Amino acid sequence: MKNNIDIYLFHRGEHRKTYDFLGVHYSEEKTIFRTWAPNAKKIELVGDFNNWIGVPMVKINNEGIWEVEVKNVRKLDRYKYKIESQKGLVQYKSDPYGIYSEKRPNTASVVYKIEDFLWKDKKWMGKKHFSKDKPLNIYEVHLGSWKQKENREFLNYKELAKELVKYVKSMNYNCVEILPINEHPLDDSWGYQGTGFFSTTSRYGTPEDFMYFVNYLHCNEIGVILDWVPGHFCKDEHGLYLFDGTPTYEYSWDLLRENHEWGTANFDFSRNEVRSFLISNALYWLKEFHIDGLRVDAVANIIYLDYGKKSHPNLKNEYGENINLSGINFLRELNRVIKKEVPRAITIAEESTAWYGVTKLENENGLGFDYKWNMGWMNDTLSYIKEDPIFRGGNHKKLTFPMLYAYSENYILPFSHDEVVHGKKSLINKIPGTLEEKLGNLKALYGYMITQPGKKLQFMGNEFAHYLEWRFYEELEWKITKEAPGKYIKRFVKDLNKIYLKEKALWEKDSSWDGFQWIDGNNESTSVISYYRKGKKIEDDLIIIINFSGVNWEKYRIGVNKKIKYKEILNSNKNIYGGHDEGNKNIYFSEKVGWHGFHYSIELMIPAFSVFILKGEY
């Protein structure tokens, strides 16, 4: 009876735990293997347990579910499905629902049963930690290249857990985001071209080892977000591509199927079984591994029929638009199901276009995500910081324009891995000038990021001015954290992050227009901007002043709204951050001198390439 219900839900696109039905189900007495291959002529199970001599599988329904029961199977035995197509083509496929795999370059699935894991994160799991009125400061990590052993071997999940917690807590991040850890054949893809969507990559250990990783971070009050790729998959022969000899998980029409930009195949979201596969996979990570959220990669590739493609008159929906209606419905269903079944979890869209309503609710014609990466802010900001300071006045709107749409979605401000690879240069090397000027500019850039509306994400290495572009095959240059400018930037980011976590004005009203007020956003001639960030209580308000010019402004006056004392809680020009201690007064008294439309004002010395944060004492 249970199988009949599973089959029914799977083919309707409504099965939420397909991994409990399909794939391998091991016990010492017997092991059951099931897969979905609707157009296969014949399937045999091959593996260590039968000397790789095929055992026929039986097709148990007309829609293509195949099954076999085998005795004398041992845990860690390798296996594949030998699939013969209707045209006689024979392929050896790994298990789409396999939960463990051989370490690359080998490609077999591995018989595995996750033993009862003793979770100790009940206190953490009982709360939703990253809602809109709470701080979210994400450290983005590629596990294989954050740190390595001396012989360049990977650290395992357990070793990574202890090293990461120690570092992340010391740097005042409260969440890590991990580049995809589903099984993938090529290190160069960083996990974004997967074959085993339910298989925790064996590069760093077992599924239980990854559970230990998540549990350890939770017990130390660090959240874990997983980069998740439901849009496309790699075309390696052992994977999902043409699984039964015909398009199965992918679109049958080559214009929709083939993703030439990435050399991958796009999932067919109109197919019920594919939706069961993908939504079950999302819930698998959130429920079974206690993941706190999913960052959904390449959402634009899901919502546009012609994304990354040459124009074609047939790449239109029934209304004559380039919108992928089945992709839209999939994303809405995904977010609806997650909010119902895992309400503590968040979903984040990496969506690179101006699509409206990514973080709006479905009844508002939205997609239902909790957050969206603000790619417009990132592109404008990095374009501005690359400019020679002499010419920044002419590009001043790149700093101020993003505020016009800052509250149109619930945003995360990202400086991600994508910005420090493929010839784009590391962040510090995007900036012109001498090393000292680069250092000052980078501090100003980070001060601007942390104090703007929106949650935060920094890729590993950014926090200590990693000089080289990110290289996935070797660990970060940790040695530069002991010398200038690395040690200065690291100390600055550590203190800046601490202020972010502590100061409510920087996150309490992230989704409200009254959480921000310009003091002066129009001073193109000085390249200085100043603004308020506001909390729910006036005593939490902060004043931010940032000088993006190479000029020391000796007597720079800004308007303020109260006649009180203001305390300096951050000055990027302190010598502990590699500065010269200029402008470091600590305390400022406002005067009854009207300025910038306010009744009061204060006067400061603003050094070149510096950021100040002030807080009133009431």
In the block, residue with structure tokens 């735990």: 17
Share of the chain residues as helix, strand and coil, in percent rounded to the nearest 5: 30, 25, 45
Q: How many helices (H) and strands (E) does the chain have?
A: 14, 30
Query: Using an 8 Å Cβ cutoff, are 241 and 250 in contact?
Result: yes
- Amino acid at position 170, single letter: S
pLDDT per residue as tens digits for the range 274-331:
999 999 999 999 999 999 999 999 999 999 999 988 878 889 999 999 999 999 999 9
Residue 534 lies in a domain: yes
Residue 543 within any structural domain of the chain:
yes
Total structural domains in the chain? 2
The phi, psi pair for 259, rounded to 5°, reads -105, 90
C-alpha–C-alpha distance, residues 149 and 474, integer Å: 10
Work out the average pLDDT over 528-532: 98
In a domain, 265, yes or no: no
Domain boundary among 72, 89, 110: 110
**Per-residue confidence at 586, pLDDT binned at 50, 70, 90?**
confident
Domain endpoint, select from 95, 110, 125:
110
105 pLDDT exceeds 50? yes
Nearest to residue 261, comparing CAs of 316, 313, 309?
Answer: 309
pLDDT of residue 312: 83
CB 411 within 8 A of CB 455: yes
| Per-residue pLDDT at 222 exceeds 50 | yes
Active site residue 297: yes
Residue 405 lies in a domain: no
* C-alpha separations of 9 from 43, 63, 95, 276, 488 in Å: 23, 12, 20, 8, 57
Please name which of 136, 298, 140 lies closest in space to residue 231, comparing C-alpha atoms. Answer: 298
Confidence of residue 2 (pLDDT cuts 50, 70, 90): low
Q: Answer for the pair 48, 6: CB distance below 8 angstroms, yes or no.
A: no
Mean pLDDT over residues 191-219, rounded?
97
Q: Count CB neighbours of 124 within 10 A.
A: 21
CATH code, 84 = 2.60.40.10
pTM (predicted TM-score): 0.96
Specify whether 268 is catalytic: no
pLDDT digits (tens, 9 = 90+) for 31-62: 999 999 999 999 999 999 999 999 999 999 99
d(CA 227, CA 188) in angstroms, rounded, equals 16
DSSP class of residue 582 equals T
Q: Which two tokens stand for residue 41?
A: 């002529």
Q: What is the per-residue pLDDT for 28? A: 86
For 10-27, b/e burial (b = at least 16 CB within 10 A) is bbebebbebbebbbbbbe
Place of tokens 């530069």: 480
Question: For residue 375, is it within any domain?
Answer: no
Residue length, the chain? Answer: 618
Q: Could you tell me where the DSSP H helices lie in 151-228?
A: 157-170, 207-219
- Among residues 44, 177, 250, 297, the one annotated as catalytic is 297
* pLDDT value at residue 115: 84
CA angle 530, 611, 614 (to 5 degrees): 65
pLDDT one-digit tens code per residue, 441-451: 999 999 999 99
Select from 147, 291, 320, 296 the least CA-distant residue to 222: 291
Burial of 155 by CB count in 10 Å (0-12 exposed, 13-18 middle, 19+ buried)? buried
CA 5 to chain centre: 35
DSSP string, 243-290: TTSS-SSB-SSHHHHEETTTTEEEB-TTSHHHHHHHHHHHHIIIIIS-
- Show which of 46, 75, 110 is a domain's final residue: 110
Peptide bond into 230 cis (omega under 30): no
Amino acid identity of residue 570, one-letter, is: L
pLDDT tens figures, 401-457: 999 999 999 999 999 999 999 999 999 999 999 999 999 999 999 999 999 999 999
Q: What CATH number has the domain bearing residue 535?
A: 2.60.40.1180
Question: Look-up: residue for tokens 């001060």?
Answer: 447
Could you report how far apart the first and last alpha carbons of the chain are, in Å? 69
227, 350, 370, 568: which one is catalytic? 350
Q: Is position 40 within any domain?
A: yes
Query: What is the domain extent for residue 561?
Result: 513-617
